[in-house]
Amino acid sequence: MKKVITLVLVAMMILLSACKAAPAETTEATVAPAETTEATVEPAETTEATVESTEKPIIAVCLPALDNPLMLAIQDTFVNGFGADYDVQVSSADGNANTQATQVENYTAMRVKLMVVMAVEATSLVPKLIAAREAGVLVMVIGGDPGNPDAYDSVMMMNQFLSGYYEAYMAKQWVDQTYPDAADGSVETVIFESTLNPEATNRSNGIKMITEPLMKNANGEFTDADGNVVDEANAAPNPAYSSKVIVVQTVQAEMFQAGQTAMQNVLTTNPNVRLVLAYAGDGGMGASQAILDEYAKGAGISVITDLNQVAVFGVGMIGAEGPAVLDSATNTTVFRGTIRFGGDLVARTNEIVAQILNGEITKVIYDPLDIVTVIDGKLMSVAIEDTEVFRVPTATPVEVFLGPPPG
Sequential pLDDT tens for the chain (407 residues): 444 334 333 344 433 344 344 444 444 434 444 444 443 434 334 333 333 445 889 999 999 988 777 788 889 889 988 988 999 999 999 989 999 999 999 999 999 999 999 998 888 899 999 999 999 999 999 887 788 999 999 998 888 999 999 999 999 999 999 999 999 999 999 999 998 778 889 999 999 999 999 999 999 999 999 999 999 999 999 999 999 999 999 999 988 999 999 999 999 999 999 999 999 999 999 999 999 999 999 988 999 999 999 999 999 887 789 999 999 999 999 999 999 986 566 777 888 899 999 999 989 887 888 999 999 999 999 999 888 889 999 999 999 887 654 44
- The sign of the CA dihedral 41, 46, 47, 48 is positive
83 located within any domain: yes
Can you spell out the DSSP letters for 71-110? Answer: HHHHHHHHHHHHTTTSEEEEEE-TT-HHHHHHHHHHHHHT
Of 123, 141, 157, which residue sits at a domain end? Answer: 157
- Which pLDDT score, from 0 to 100, does residue 19 have? 39
CA distances from 184 to 124, 177, 209, 249, 250 (A): 43, 15, 16, 17, 19
Based on the domain organization, do 326 and 295 belong to the same domain?
yes
219 shares a domain with 89: no
Assess if residue 359 is contained within a domain: no
Burial (0-12, 13-18, 19+ Cβ within 10 Å), 173: middle
Q: What is the CA radius of gyration of the chain?
A: 35
Whole-angstrom Cα distance, residue 358 to residue 27?
60
Answer yes or no: do 179 and 80 share one domain. Answer: no
Domain-terminating residue out of 116, 134, 157: 157
Q: How many CB atoms lie under 10 A from the CB of residue 354?
A: 12
Whichever domain contains 275, its CATH number is 3.40.50.2300
pLDDT value of position 280: 92
Residues 166 and 276 grouped into a single domain: yes
Q: DSSP letter for 229, please.
A: B
- What's the pLDDT score for residue 364? 85
pLDDT score recorded for residue 299: 86
Last residue of a domain, one of 157, 172, 194: 157
What value, to the nearest 5°, has the Cα angle with vertex 206 and ends 202 and 208? 120
Following CA atoms 382, 387, 390, 393 in sequence, which dihedral angle do they give, to the nearest 10 degrees? Answer: -20
Instruction: Look at residue 342 in the predicted model and tell me its pLDDT.
Output: 67
| Whole-number Å distance between alpha carbons of 207 and 193 | 8
Strand 245-252 relative to strand 398-399: parallel, antiparallel, unpaired? unpaired
d(CA 259, CA 376): 28
Other CB atoms within 10 Å distance of the CB of residue 10: 10
pTM listed for this prediction? 0.74
Per the document, the length of the chain is 407
Query: Do residues 259 and 386 both lie within one domain?
Result: yes
Q: Which domain holds residue 62?
A: 55-157
325 within domain boundaries: yes
Residue 249 CB-density burial (10 A; 0-12 exposed, 13-18 middle, 19+ buried): middle
Question: How far is 205 from 386, CA to CA, in rounded Å?
Answer: 19
Q: Is 59 helix (H, G, I), strand (E, B) or coil?
A: strand
Cα gap 15→30, rounded to integer Å: 24
Q: Total domain count for the chain?
A: 2
**Among 56, 68, 122, CA closest to 92:** 68
Q: Which of 56, 84, 57, 88 is nearest to 75 (CA)?
A: 88
